[in-house]
């Protein structure tokens, strides 16, 4: 089975974030980076599936040159080879732009299964995976917790809400977006780190893939949430004041 895992490099969770001078994104000069957490679980799911049914795991990533470090980490954990779409500006992170580049890169791969994270930790749109499935013309399922492969079909476990799950059977090829916490992540071994240096890392650009699409979404402004404090005194007896408080909490604060 050929399994492609799409991963993204994002700012580390403990990074000190500052808005850049243009107010369009965060200043990235002093940031440290890591693999997007949901993508790490997608990688783990792909590696476990390979261990059960055989085949290869191909890592696919789009991003600037620094993303090669995250790709090498994925190779060190057990991925067989990688494709890096090396571009500094991916249409401002527009999921359609990224998905079109990935779809073009996968034309010659013909994967049996494509795995992505549910969403990215930086933009959190949760759209790239499902758009990629549509461009590839294959079925997809989201919020996946577990995968069982049998021949040319899959049985997947989807997380819904309030502790409910859904089990879905679907044919291959397919695309799944993985939920964080779906399995236990592995660490790269010393031998894996050494082997990663010799594994194939194919570099492509948008020009190699037919050019970059025009973004359909634009980030107009990035800013920290504005904080303010207000106090309000409810007049009347305790019963009347409590009723007014409940009304505020229910219809304005929306916490009950």
- Residue 228's pLDDT is 77
Q: Please give the helix or strand (H or E) that residue 184 lies within, else none.
A: none
Tens of pLDDT, residues 16-67? 888 888 888 888 878 899 999 999 999 999 999 999 999 999 999 999 999 9
Mean pLDDT of the chain: 92
- Residue 67's pLDDT is 95
Task: Give the residue-averaged pLDDT of 112-127.
Answer: 93
- Residue 135's pLDDT is 96
**Residues facing residue 63 across a β-bridge:** 86
- Residue 218's pLDDT is 84
Q: Which fold has domain 2-209?
A: Rossmann fold (3.40.50)
Task: Give the residue-averaged pLDDT of 4-25.
Answer: 89
Tens of pLDDT, residues 135-184? 999 999 999 999 999 889 999 999 988 889 999 999 999 999 999 988 89
Cα separation of 204 and 215, whole Å?
20
Tens of pLDDT, residues 167-180? 999 999 999 999 99
Indicate whether 223 pLDDT > 90.
no
Cα separation of 8 and 117, whole Å?
9
- Residue 155's pLDDT is 96
**Both tokens assigned to 201:** 């890392």
| First-to-last C-alpha distance (Å) of the chain | 49
Task: Give the residue-averaged pLDDT of 116-120.
Answer: 94
pLDDT above 70 as % of the chain? 100
**Both tokens assigned to 236:** 């009347």
Cα separation of 219 and 194, whole Å?
40
CA torsion through residues 102, 12, 177, 59, sign: positive
Alpha-carbon distances of 77 from 34, 185, 193, rounded to whole Å: 14, 10, 8
Indicate whether 199 pLDDT > 80.
yes
- Please report, for the chain, the start and end positions of each structural domain, with discontinuous segments joined by +: 2-209
Alpha helices per DSSP H over 28-120? 37-53, 67-77, 95-105
Task: Give the residue-averaged pLDDT of 212-233.
Answer: 83
Top-confidence residue, 199 or 222: 199
């Amino acid at each position: 089975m050929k399994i492609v895992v799409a991963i993204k490099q994002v700012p580390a969770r403990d990074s000190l974030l500052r808005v850049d001078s243009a107010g369009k994104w965060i200043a990235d000069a002093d940031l440290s980076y890591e693999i997007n957490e949901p993508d790490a679980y997608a990688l783990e799911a792909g590696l476990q599936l390979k261990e059960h049914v055989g085949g290869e795991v191909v890592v696919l990533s789009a991003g600037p040159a620094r993303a090669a470090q995250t790709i090498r980490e994925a190779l060190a954990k057990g991925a067989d080879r990688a494709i890096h779409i090396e571009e500094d500006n991916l249409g401002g992170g527009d999921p359609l732009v990224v998905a079109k580049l990935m779809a073009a890169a996968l034309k010659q791969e013909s994967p049996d299964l494509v795995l992505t994270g549910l969403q990215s930790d930086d933009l959190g749109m949760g759209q790239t995976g499902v758009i990629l499935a549509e461009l590839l013309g294959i079925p997809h399922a989201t919020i996946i917790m577990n995968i069982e492969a049998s021949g040319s079909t899959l049985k997947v476990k989807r997380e819904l809400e309030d502790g409910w799950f859904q089990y879905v059977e679907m044919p291959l090829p397919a695309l799944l977006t993985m939920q964080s916490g779906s399995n236990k992540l592995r660490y790269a071994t010393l031998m894996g780190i050494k082997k990663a240096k010799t594994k194939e890392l194919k570099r492509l650009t948008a020009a190699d893939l037919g050019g970059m699409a025009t973004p359909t979404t634009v980030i107009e402004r990035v800013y920290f949430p504005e904080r303010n404090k207000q106090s309000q005194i409810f007049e009347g007896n305790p019963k009347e004041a409590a009723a007014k408080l409940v009304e505020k909490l229910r219809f304005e604060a929306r916490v009950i």
